Amino acid sequence: MKAIAAALAVCTSFLAVSVVLAWTQNSGKPPVAAAPKYDPAIYAELQKAPEKARNRANPLQNDPDAVAAGAILFEQHCAECHGHSAEGSRKAPSLLAPEVQSATPGTLFWLLTNGVVRKKMPVWSKLPEPQRWQLVRYIKSLGGPAPEAESPAPKP
């Protein structure tokens, strides 16, 4: 009987925590602080892309469905850290920043493929190559200059 009582007590306490968590999540105050202030140095990772990678063109640049598909992929894989509108969060920087929006599609693709594993950004090569290009199309559609006007990243 003691074991049953202990089990019930443990389960009840977890359920109580559930209720508290549900209440806090519905109260409009997210558990993580929404203060996306990032060290600009984080964007320096983009400059590490090799020239060959930077100059790669997006093969889905003219695919009419790429942005919509990329938006779904972004919500499924990226929004948790970068925010639902890519505005950034405590976990990961904003993708609306000029450093990201002015980067070439090839640079963003390279960063997605390699991640920044020492700075919490996972490797995303598990997404097939076309899906990574779809994500790049979506990210670039969020507020960067038109593809023709994109300035390539400076040579190291």
Residues that bind another protein (CB under 8 A): 1, 3-4, 7, 10-11, 14-15, 17-18, 21-22, 24-25, 29, 31-33, 60, 65-66, 68-70, 72-73, 76-77, 80, 90-91, 113-123, 125-131, 134
Per residue in 16-39, is it b (16+ CB within 10 Å) or e — as a string? eeeeeeeeeeeeeeeeeeeebeee
Q: How far is the CB of 125 from another protein (least distance, A)?
A: 5
> Which residue's CB is nearer to another protein, number 92 or number 97?
92
Task: Provide the token pair at 4.
Answer: 């049953």
- Write the DSSP symbol of residue 123: -
> Which residue's CB is nearer to another protein, number 9 or number 98?
9
**How far is CA 54 from each of CA 130, 143, 152, rounded to the nearest angstrom?**
17, 20, 7
> Which residue's CB is nearer to another protein, number 36 or number 115?
115
